[in-house]
Amino acid sequence: MGLINLILLVKEALRECGRGLDSTDTLATQTGFILSMRGGAAMLLAGDIGGTKTDLAIYSPESGPREPLAQAEFPSGSYPSLEAIVREFLAQTGAVVEHACFDVAGPVIAGRAKVTNLPWVVEAAKIADELSLKSVHLLNDLEAIARAVPILQPGDLHTLSAGEPITGGAIAVIAPGTGLGEAFLTWDGTCYQAHASEGGHADFAPTSSIQVGLLEYLLERYEHVSYERVCSGIGIGNIYDYLRDRGVIPESPELARRLSEVSDRTPLIVDAGLRSEAPDPLCRATIDTFLDILGAEAGNLALKVLATGGVYLGGGIPLHVLPALEDGRFLRAFRAKGRFADLLARIPVHVIVERAALIGAASYGLAFDRDGGA
């Protein structure tokens, strides 16, 4: 169940502690020893809950939000609930935690969230009761990424445009993954404050004849066409279908066969469109259209919050299409704002290459429990 990171973290921590465990020691025994070496401080369980995968990790106040003591990844769709994943993770580690903080792909209202693209309802009070935790906090996944931005390090970022950042300027975060998330940060005079949004569900506004056709195509299938329908993992599949069904570019029979055999087509489309030798024309056109839409919507968000502090691309897709992001297409769409093109050209644009949501959830949870919710 994705225990490679967990095992590596345990072994590294054992070396730091100068502890030699023999081969009969279980992973839970090893992890329990590590946690006991942290002085008995209350441990935090943090999680990044997505439609495709769930990342869980354990932190201590001493280690901070960038150094998990144990970490593992789970396929979300293989479990009936978040509680089931947490129980398995804690059993694997042998850890005893008192507090938890989870970021969720979906709006969080009064400690409750319906996870977008999963049949889960996550409730803080219910999790605390079932798992005997002193406190459980929920926050939107994009708010978690936004909270991580101020503590990201240079190695956590890949810069597409250095721009001319303004100190204390607002910051925009846009993250295409399974869905599309958006958030922003504002400066309050002493620190940045993160704000969640559901901007990814705003109406899709096409900027070219191809995109107009895409909107018309999707309106035949959906009552509402949001940016998430065209600018996400879901969106890549929709764009591909449109270009194929409208006869813009013919589909390869071999690729059609391969796509019919998988439940998630996005990785195959991306790989086929970006391979160095003989990229698939339909897949490449799909990626180009996706980048045009992502660039335009990132520019829209930058204008709406006046993101002079920078725009940060999160989520899983930017990492997988990084070579295409660097070819200039994305930035041209980002800056194509008429009279405000010069302003957009001065806004820095970065791709987040670290697991920022988990860092943000851990940072929030540690701070909340340290300050008593203040």
* Fold of the domain spanning 4-139: Nucleotidyltransferase; domain 5 (3.30.420)
SS (H, E, C) 30-49: HHHHHHHCCCCCCCEEEEEE
Q: How remote is the C-alpha of 9 from its chain's centroid?
A: 22
* Fold of the domain spanning 200-352: Hexokinase; domain 1 (3.40.367)
What are the CA-CA distances from residue 33 to residues 16, 23, 37 (Å)? 12, 15, 6
* pLDDT computed for residue 36 by the predictor: 46
Every domain of the chain with CATH number 3.30.420.40 lies at 4-139
* pLDDT computed for residue 368 by the predictor: 79
* pLDDT computed for residue 355 by the predictor: 86
Q: Point out the least confidently predicted range of 19-23, 79-83, 105-109, 326-330.
A: 19-23
206 vs 145: CA distance, rounded Å: 27
* pLDDT computed for residue 214 by the predictor: 98
Give the DSSP letter of residue 153: -
* pLDDT computed for residue 17 by the predictor: 46
- Other Cβ atoms closer than 10 A to 345: 14
Taking only the tens place, the pLDDT of each residue in 53-94 is 899 999 999 989 999 999 999 999 999 999 999 999 999 998
Every domain of the chain with CATH number 3.40.367.20 lies at 200-352
* pLDDT computed for residue 4 by the predictor: 39
DSSP bridge partners of 351: 158, 313
pLDDT at 45 over 60: yes
- Write down the mean pLDDT value for the chain: 89
CA angle 121, 126, 130 (to 5 degrees): 120
**What is the pLDDT averaged over residues 304-322?**
96
* Confidence tier at 29 by pLDDT (50, 70, 90): very low
* pLDDT computed for residue 117 by the predictor: 76
**What is the pLDDT averaged over residues 148-173?**
96
* Confidence tier at 3 by pLDDT (50, 70, 90): very low
Taking only the tens place, the pLDDT of each residue in 235-274 is 999 999 999 999 999 999 999 999 999 989 999 999 999 9
**What is the pLDDT averaged over residues 151-168?**
96
Q: Residue 125: what are its φ and ψ, rounded to 5°? A: -65, -40
* pLDDT computed for residue 12 by the predictor: 52
* Confidence tier at 178 by pLDDT (50, 70, 90): confident
* Confidence tier at 8 by pLDDT (50, 70, 90): very low
pLDDT at 171 over 90: yes
Percent of the chain with pLDDT over 90: 78
27-60 burial code (b ≥16 CB/10 A, e <16): ebebbbbbbebbeeebbbbbbbbbbbbbbbbbbb
* pLDDT computed for residue 371 by the predictor: 66
* pLDDT computed for residue 372 by the predictor: 58
* pLDDT computed for residue 212 by the predictor: 98
* Confidence tier at 41 by pLDDT (50, 70, 90): low
Q: Could you tell me which residue, 35 or 289, shows the higher pLDDT?
A: 289
Q: Point out the least confidently predicted range of 104-113, 284-293, 362-371.
A: 362-371
